[in-house]
Structure formats: structure tokens, C-alpha cells
Amino acid sequence: MFSRRKGSDEPITDKNKWLQRLQQESWELELLVSGFSILLLYKAIGFITEKTEEIDLFLNSSLPSSTMVSIFMNILILSLGALIINLTLHLLMRGFWVGIVGLGSVAPKTDFDKLKYSSFFTEKLKLRVGNLDKLVVFIDNISSLVFAFAFLIIFMLLALAIYMVFLLAVLGGANMIIQYMSGGLADIFSFIASGILILIIITGLVYLFDFLSLGLIKKSKRLSRIYYPIYVFYGWITLAFLYRVIYYNLMSRYSRGRIALVLGGYLLALMLVPSLYMDHGIYFDENDDQYYISANYYDNLRNRSDVIEKVSIPSKITNESFLPLFIRYNPEHNSTIKKRFPEFKPTKTEELKSDLKFSVGLGSLHIGYGYREKEEDPETALKCLTDFYNIYLDDSLVACAPTLFSTHSNRGETGLEAMLDIVHLKRGKHMIEVKLEYLKDSGLVEKRYAIVPFWKE
């Protein structure tokens, strides 16, 4: 009915034969997956990068929720980049493998006698140059390993991202609960939450050490019993079931020292190489708005896909009497504005919300979207923002520029729009400077925020 594999007690069933045939023919699936994945991943990285930049600009980076999103998105981009590198390497090796297989079908052996080299060199070549069959098997094994290693790396990076998100979620949840407590109860809960966070950090580092050391803690009879609950807990948190099979399979088949060297070197290169660059423009500087013209400041020059970073005007050259200046609302300024105007308490709060609304009528339930919380005192809110941003035109403070809340047509950026009267300006270059006025121990101080040059015809 069925037989047993040589050197194994496991019977060879129809399922075993199907798996063996699938393993032997898996290179075709690998090539298809690699080729299509590379094309899709390039587009995915561009889309995710664009969304990540947009998220970074529209969220308050000081909030745990914003930090969670930013960390996850950036590690996701890094993971996709690593996957592209591995799949490209796999595709090249598989192409090389197909070429060797094709050559072996035409000329299976190398005829050294036809080369007519000296007997000394011929003998050396026979020792150093292997046959095609061994090379085919070697490249086939390496290609399959590279393919599996690609997904091991991406799952490891995603596990790191999930751990960071988990840590920040605990921190954000604790801070949110503490806000609704007062007195000694808040202090007690804060002490307990701090202990939990320290425990998560320490146990997370222990789990990471065991993972990178390829199971050093698991070898200890005493420590392994203590470590097992940590192993199970973080296995669920980091979705380790997705990559554990690959991880332990590699460790059981190959030298742990080599695996640690390859894994550590790959991760180190993945983090360092993207940060390396060669800058030949040693006399060029784009970090000071006073001496650099940024296309992001002009509506007619900015790419449609780009978000307004700070401020924007219609164009560099104008012959109009009024010039609209848009100042994008930056959530990172919230805490600074609160200190500047402590007497005003906005109606809105920086919390996770939903614009889903339920309403019950006569025997019916209605569900709708788009119900956003409104500010009860928009006039005071506008005054706080207007007084926070000081606008200078050619070094002169613009005191009475009409300012309103505005949503820009570029990417729906929200902010202020000030209308500057420039009818009196002469022909030539002029400068708009926006400064932030915030409170310090010494009193009110100003800090340059953006400088926008323009020319009047």
C-alpha cells in the first residue's frame, strides 16, 4: 500500500509524494512570486512612504498614538525594502540556476582535454572546477534559503514594530487613565504603570537576547523554566508563529555561528546602508530658509503629491495688490500654544475618536458618518493661533492682516490664511517671515518659523 523513505520510519504516502514533487518544482513558483512581488513592492513602498510623510505632518508626534503609527509605518517601509533586496537577489540566483541547468542539458561535463592546457594546469583545474551537477544543487539550495530568509527578515522587523506599538499602547493607555484620576490614587496607579512598563522593557530585552543568541537561555535547565512564560507571551505579541518554523529549521540544519553572523550582519547593514550617502555639494545648503528657495512654499511649483510643510503663497512672482499667505496648522505646536494661552481651554481634545454617529428615531436606527466635534468658541481659538504666529513683511510686523481658518486645496491641509496688502510695495524682491511667539521663563520670545521670498512685478 505504501512504503517508507530510506533512513526514516515515516511512511511515504500520496501526501508525502505530493510534497516531494512540490518541493522539487517550487523554483517555478519562487520565480513567479519574486518577479510579481518586486514590481508590487516598489509601488507599495512609494505609496506607504507618501502616506507616512503625510501622517508625520498631520499628527502630533509627542502623542503615543502618533509615535506608534510613525514607528510601525517606518519599520514597514524598512521591511519592504529588505524584502525587495532579498527577492531581487533570489531572482538573480534563480536565473543563474536556470542558465546552469540549460547548459548542463547541452554539455553535462567539462572536457578539459580539448582545452589543451599543460598537464600541471589541467590537474589543478580538475581539482578546483567542480561539475555542473554539484553547482546546480548548491545554487538551488542557496536560492531556496534566500527566499525563505527574505520572509524571516520581514517577519522579524514586523515583530519589532508590533512590540514597540504594544509598549507605546500600554504607555498611552496608562496616561489616559491617569488623566481621569486625582490625588493619591493617580500616584499609586502611576507607580504601578511605571513598574509594568519597566517589566515589559526588561522582558522584551531578554526575549530579544535569546532570539539573537539563537536560544542561549533555552539551553539552561533552570533559566529555561523561568523564561518559558516570557517566551509564550511575546510569541503571541510578536506573532512569532509566522516565522518560528523557518527560524528553528535553519538553526537545526546549519551552524549557529554562521546563522548569527549572517543574521546580525544583514540587520546591521540594513540599518546602516540606507543612511550612507555621498554629498558633493559642499558649498550648497538647503537648511536655511533665508538663503534657500523651497518649491514647497509656492502653490504653482509644489508637486501635487506633496503636503504643505509650513507656509505657502500662490507664486514667486505676483502683480496683485493682495497676497494670500497660508500657514499650515501644526499639531506639534499644541503644547506650546497651551502654555502661551493657558486661560483658553479648547473644546476638542487630542484623543482617538470616531465620526460615526447613531441616532434613534421612531422605531428606527440611523447611522451616519462625518459628525466632527465643533469648537464652542472659534473666535478665541482663532485669536490664539493668530497671536501665536507673527507675520513680518520686509522686517515690518504686519499687525492687522485679516486672518481666517482655512482648508487648502492642495491636500486638504488645515491652517490660517492671512491676506497681506502689498499694493504699496515697489517692484523687486520682498520677504515674508513667519515667527512663533511663545512663552518662556524670561517672558515672550520669538523664533523664526519660515521665510518666503517673492518678487513683485
Residue 7 has a pLDDT of: 44
Tens digit of pLDDT for each residue in 296-351? 999 999 988 788 989 999 999 999 999 999 999 988 888 888 888 889 888 887 76
Residue 175 has a pLDDT of: 77
Residue 449 has a pLDDT of: 92
Q: Give residue 3's pLDDT band: very low, low, confident or very high (50, 70, 90).
A: very low
Q: Do residues 238 and 159 lie in contact, with contact meaning Cβ atoms separated by under 8 Å? A: yes
pLDDT at 4 over 50: no
Tens digit of pLDDT for each residue in 247-277? 888 777 777 777 777 777 777 777 777 777 7
What contacts 274, CB < 8 A, 6 or more positions away? 78, 81
Residue 367 has a pLDDT of: 59
What contacts 421, CB < 8 A, 6 or more positions away? 321, 322, 401
Residue 2 has a pLDDT of: 35
Residue 255 has a pLDDT of: 75
The Cα 65–Cα 168 span in angstroms is 7
pLDDT at 107 over 80: no
Tens digit of pLDDT for each residue in 406-445? 999 888 888 999 999 999 999 999 999 999 988 887 788 8
pLDDT at 5 over 70: no
Q: Which residue has the higher pLDDT, 60 or 168?
A: 168
pLDDT at 190 over 80: yes
Helices (H), 273-394: 334-340, 378-388
pLDDT at 6 over 70: no
Residue 264 has a pLDDT of: 76
Look up cell 488645515; give the residue.
Answer: 414
Least confident of 60-64, 113-117, 386-390, 445-449: 60-64
Least confident of 172-186, 222-236, 297-311, 336-350: 172-186
Helices (H) and strands (E) in the chain, counts: 11, 13
The Cα 439–Cα 347 span in angstroms is 22
Tens digit of pLDDT for each residue in 337-393? 888 888 988 888 776 666 666 666 555 555 555 556 788 888 998 988 888 999 999
In 3D space, the residue among 247, 283, 78 whose CA is nearest the CA of residue 149 turns out to be 247
Q: Which residue has the higher pLDDT, 368 or 294?
A: 294
Residue range(s) of every CATH 2.60.40 domain in the chain: 295-343+378-456
Could you tell me what percent of the chain has a pLDDT over 70? 84
Would you give the DSSP letter of residue 414? E
| Averaged pLDDT for residues 135-146 | 80
HEC-encoded secondary structure of 93-122: HHHHHHHHHHHHHHCCCCCHHHHCCCHHHH
The Cα 171–Cα 43 span in angstroms is 34
Residue 144 has a pLDDT of: 76
Q: What is the mean pLDDT of the chain?
A: 80
Q: What top-level class would CATH report for the domain 295-343+378-456?
A: mainly beta
Predicted TM-score (pTM) above 0.75: no
Q: Which residue has the higher pLDDT, 361 or 91?
A: 91
To 5 degrees, how large is the angle CA 436–CA 441–CA 442?
80
In 3D space, the residue among 445, 447, 424 whose CA is nearest the CA of residue 434 turns out to be 447
pLDDT at 203 over 70: yes
The Cα 132–Cα 137 span in angstroms is 9
The Cα 246–Cα 148 span in angstroms is 7
Residue 453 has a pLDDT of: 93
Could you tell me what percent of the chain has a pLDDT over 90? 17
- Which range scores top for mean pLDDT: 109-123, 137-151, 229-243, 278-292? 229-243
